[in-house]
């Protein structure tokens, strides 16, 4: 059982003010209302006297954007020492459970396997993740369908659960505990009544989200891999691709998508390798020299995205490569909805619930 503390609302503001002396602090800021009339939140660098805003659901940007930048220098050549900028210590508030789940996948990609990426490792170590429970959800949210709860249970350094007069702060790592040890004056030991209140709030939201998702009939994780394997040759892929404009938005905003391209360039007379996010929906993603392209057809590219999410990651990590954050649904100008794709496969395979 993780340690749980209580921090009053005003004390949290003081704490953030103090943290800014030693860390770059990012926290959610409300964006102007979007077309869905929902308030969107965006990770912003907190400035002096900023009030810490609690985001009831996830931010617009994927958490991955703190660990792999959309485009950045990846290496110098040859014996030349890598000249990486001083990363500094970073604290991110407002991380949600879906982001944490997606982070497991990013960690798996960049820290495990054949080798570890040093830049990712450095950023990971220099960053403290302060997550928080969701207290509401967006129309596109479907974390429960991916077996992700709307509050994180692991993978955070500290998790905040809002109560009436403050927050419960659950410690998830040594980094989180150090934060309490370094600033003990702001934290009190949590009372059992407060922990019971947290549980009630959590269960209440889960029930509300379940009721919201029930009529949507999103295929459960238990059959998702089967849908992709057995639905490989269905016309679902070409049907849903009809409205794709190949912008790559779904990949770029996806918190679990990790594909990147390495490029070489000469900058101020010095050669360097540059790494940038890539999208499997782009026509040239899998093309090889000479022109052969295993994903020549648009439908193949959509299927490639889904086999990665719902076959590859089930195979290697036993979880789907989707955290149910719904960012790809919001961003798609072609209105391609990942939930609808899964539902269509289930319907055509007679596996619908």
Least Å distance between CB 201 and another protein?
39
Q: Does 230 bind another protein (CB under 8 A)?
A: no
> Tokens 């596109």 sit at which residue?
140
Stretch that binds another protein, among 130-138, 177-185, 257-265, 325-333 (CB under 8 A): 257-265
Nearest CA to 161 among 134, 141, 189, 143?
Answer: 134
Region 302-321 residues binding another protein, contact defined as CB under 8 A: 304, 307-308, 311-312, 315-316
The dihedral through the CA atoms of 37, 39, 41, 42 has a sign that is positive
**Between vectors from CA 122 to CA 86 and to CA 323, what angle results, nearest 5°?**
125
Nearest CA to 42 among 59, 55, 67?
Answer: 59
Stretch that binds another protein, among 22-30, 161-169, 196-204, 288-296 (CB under 8 A): 288-296
Q: Does 260 bind another protein (CB under 8 A)?
A: yes
Strands (DSSP E) found in the chain: 4-8, 24-30, 41-45, 71-76, 90-95, 127-132, 158-162, 166-171, 188-189, 260-267, 270-277
Tokens of 313: 């990651």
For another protein, the closer CB: 100 or 109: 109
Return the SS3 of 108.
Answer: helix
Residues 145-184: x where in contact with another protein by CB under 8 A, - otherwise, as a string: ----------------------------------------
What count of Cα atoms within 13 Å lies in the side-chain half-sphere of residue 308? 17
Q: Does 347 bind another protein (CB under 8 A)?
A: no
Stretch that binds another protein, among 56-64, 94-102, 105-113, 183-191 (CB under 8 A): 105-113
List residues near another protein by CB under 8 A.
74-79, 82, 109-110, 113-119, 121-122, 232, 258-266, 271, 273, 275, 278, 280, 285-290, 292-294, 296, 300, 304, 307-308, 311-312, 315-316
């Amino acid at each position: 059982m993780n340690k749980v503390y209580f921090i009053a609302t005003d004390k949290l503001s003081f704490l953030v003010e103090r943290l800014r002396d030693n860390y770059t602090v990012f926290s959610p800021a409300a964006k102007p209302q979007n077309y869905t009339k929902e308030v969107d939140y965006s990770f912003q660098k907190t400035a002096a006297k900023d009030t810490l805003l609690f985001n009831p659901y996830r931010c617009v940007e994927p958490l991955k954007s703190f660990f792999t930048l959309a485009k950045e220098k990846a290496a110098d050549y040859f014996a030349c020492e890598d000249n990486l900028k001083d990363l500094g210590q970073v604290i991110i508030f407002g991380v949600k459970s879906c982001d944490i789940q997606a982070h497991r996948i990013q960690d798996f990609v960049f820290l495990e396997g054949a080798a570890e990426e040093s830049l990712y490792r450095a950023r990971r170590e220099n960053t403290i993740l302060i997550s928080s429970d969701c207290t509401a959800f967006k129309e596109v949210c479907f974390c429960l369908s991916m077996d992700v709860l709307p509050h994180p249970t692991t993978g955070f350094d500290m998790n905040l659960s809002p109560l009436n007069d403050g927050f419960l702060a659950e410690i998830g790592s040594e980094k989180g505990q150090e934060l309490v040890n370094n600033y003990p004056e702001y934290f009190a030991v949590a009372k059992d009544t407060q922990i019971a209140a947290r549980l009630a709030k959590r269960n209440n939201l889960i029930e509300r989200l379940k009721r919201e998702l029930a009529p949507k009939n999103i295929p459960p994780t238990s059959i998702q891999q089967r849908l992709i394997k057995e639905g490989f040759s269905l016309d679902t892929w070409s049907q849903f691709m009809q409205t794709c404009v190949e912008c790559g938005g779904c990949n770029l905003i996806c918190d679990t998508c990790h594909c990147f391209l390495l490029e070489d360039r000469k900058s101020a007379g010095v050669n360097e390798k540059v790494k940038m996010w890539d999208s499997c929906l782009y026509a040239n993603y899998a093309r090889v020299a000479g022109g052969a392209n295993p994903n020549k057809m648009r439908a193949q590219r959509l299927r490639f995205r889904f086999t990665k999410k719902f076959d590859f990651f089930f195979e290697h990590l036993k979880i789907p490569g989707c955290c149910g954050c719904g960012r790809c649904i919001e961003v798609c100008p072609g209105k391609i909805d990942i939930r609808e794709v899964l539902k269509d496969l289930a319907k055509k395979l007679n596996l619908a619930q």
